[in-house]
Amino acid sequence: MERPLTQHIARDGRYRGLQEYGKTGGYRSLARLADGLSPQDIQRLVTESGLRGRGGAGFPTGSKWSFVPMGSDAPRPKYIVANADEMEPGTFKDRVLMEGDPHGLVEGMILAGYAIQAEIGFIFLRGEYRLSAQRLTNAISEAYTEGHLGRTLHGSDFRFDLHLHTSAGRYICGEETALLNALEGKRAIPRAKPPYPQTAGLWGQPTVVQNVETMYNLPHIVNHGAAWYHNLSRSKDGGTKLYGMSGRVAHPGCWELPLGTTARELLEHYAGGMSSGFSFRGLLPGGASTAFLVQEHLDLPMDFSSIPPQVSRLGTGTMIVLDDRTCPVGFVLNLEQFFARESCGWCTPCREGLPWVARILESFEEGRATNDDLTLLEMHAEFLGPGRTFCALAPGAVEPLKSALKYFRDDFVRHIRMGQCPWNITLKRHKILV
């Protein structure tokens, strides 16, 4: 079983209901609770498996759970929350899972709840994911009817209730504490840490927030063991990874592959290389808030440990490819306009700095930029970096900008020298030739 998360997802996109899910081993992991599998046993399995959060940060899942107060004296209730607010540009992996196999998320949520003794779970879903909402609603209803939810489970004294919450939107809801504020009906802004959600999260109670893909791994770890899961990977971290690729490639898509698959293999083998007539210039490895990788980086394993932090990071593992006919300045401008619009406005550097970055990049595209504007972009890339803002939105937003200034600086200079976007001329010539 080389693709545990996606092997049973139907290619025609149909709904995979409870009966079909059960025939392929669905909910089998819950039967182990009756055999005496304790919450501590599941925490130990997950820790030994090397599972790291698949939302972008890659924090070890077992370590995250270890901060939750356990035992009879622990505060009640506790909560487990699935972060399904997949608003990172270029990222669509969680949507593939939720639409194709919604019961996998329900089962993963039950196991995560049992592991930290959380009685209540929430799936915080991006509002635009309407098909995911429909299918998750059906799956939750079927799980209640079957007795997997709302009753004590398989001879244990554990009962778990699960709710679907469709978000009103905003990118900032992907940050776990902003998500919790939104779930409480408050303005979606990040909270100060500490306290951390594991001790004081949703409504002040112990809470764990995990990415959707992370949850899907739990039943397989419980069913097959930590060693099996670790051996799926080419990396020191365990498991498979859902990688995606979009842009001017022959076959854009999403694939479940061993964690540690190289960028070159993803680009040339699975995505079929660049589209005819296009050449590779760079890619963002993990959605829009990661730094560019270029030709010299293509043989790096795409995992949480192999990409040097001064170069980039894996992020969500969903790659956006930049080709030789796309203006890198315009490419970055599109991203910065998104991030400026999605800033929650809570801290001044992000609220004021990102719109300034977008305006400066607009001046490059419109032919008004000067050398001073190039200096201002470099300054903003530093001033909005890690440790200078309240949360990670702005530091993530300037990662593509900072790396574009490093690898594609000549393109910025050409905009200044020519007084316009050079790609406008190239495109016009191309259209005439065609």
Please tell me the predicted confidence (pLDDT) of residue 434: 35
Domain boundary among 263, 296, 323: 323
Q: Are residues 169 and 57 in the same domain?
A: yes
Burial label, 425 (beta-carbon count in 10 A; 0-12, 13-18, 19+): exposed
CA distance 53 to 62: 10
CA distance 295 to 279: 11
Please tell me the predicted confidence (pLDDT) of residue 169: 79
Q: Are residues 88 and 199 in the same domain?
A: yes
Q: What is the model's pTM?
A: 0.94
Query: Greatest CA span in the chain, whole angstroms?
Result: 75
Interstrand relation of 318-323 and 280-284 (parallel, antiparallel or unpaired): antiparallel
Element (H, E) at 415: helix 409-418
pLDDT in tens, the chain (434 residues): 589 999 999 888 889 999 999 999 999 999 888 788 999 999 999 999 999 999 888 899 999 999 999 998 999 999 999 999 999 998 999 999 999 999 999 999 999 999 999 999 999 999 999 999 999 999 999 999 999 999 888 677 899 999 999 998 789 999 999 999 999 999 999 999 999 999 999 999 999 999 999 999 999 999 999 999 999 999 989 999 999 999 999 999 999 999 999 999 999 999 999 999 999 999 999 999 999 999 999 999 999 999 999 999 999 999 999 999 999 999 999 999 999 999 999 999 999 999 999 999 999 999 999 999 999 999 999 999 999 999 999 999 999 999 999 999 999 999 999 999 998 865 554 443 33
Please tell me the predicted confidence (pLDDT) of residue 184: 97
Q: What is the CATH number of the domain that holds 100?
A: 3.40.50.11540
Q: What is the CATH number of the domain that holds 347?
A: 1.20.1440.230
- Give 407's contacts (C-beta < 8 A, 6+ positions apart): 282, 292, 294
* Residue 247 lies in domain: 240-323
Question: 3-state DSSP helix/strand/coil percent for the chain, to nearest 5?
Answer: 45, 15, 40
Please tell me the predicted confidence (pLDDT) of residue 426: 57
Please tell me the predicted confidence (pLDDT) of residue 57: 83
pLDDT in tens, 387-415: 999 999 999 999 999 999 999 999 999 99
Q: What is the CATH number of the domain that holds 298?
A: 3.10.20.600
22 domain residue, yes or no: yes
Please tell me the predicted confidence (pLDDT) of residue 431: 45
Please tell me the predicted confidence (pLDDT) of residue 12: 86
10 domain residue, yes or no: no
CA angle at residue 298 from 272 to 314, to 5 degrees?
Answer: 100
249 domain residue, yes or no: yes
Q: Give 84's strand partners.
A: 125
Q: Are residues 269 and 207 in the same domain?
A: no
| Residues 93/129, Cβ–Cβ less than 8 Å | no
Q: Are residues 23 and 152 in the same domain?
A: yes
88 domain residue, yes or no: yes
198 domain residue, yes or no: yes
How many Å is the Cα radius of gyration of the chain?
23
Write phi, then psi, for 367 (nearest 5 degrees). 85, 20
> What does 339-359 look like in DSSP terms, one character per residue?
HHHH--S-SHHHHHHHHHHHH
Please tell me the predicted confidence (pLDDT) of residue 35: 82
CA distance 375 to 353: 14
Q: Are residues 95 and 206 in the same domain?
A: yes
pLDDT in tens, 169-200: 789 999 999 999 999 999 999 999 999 999 99
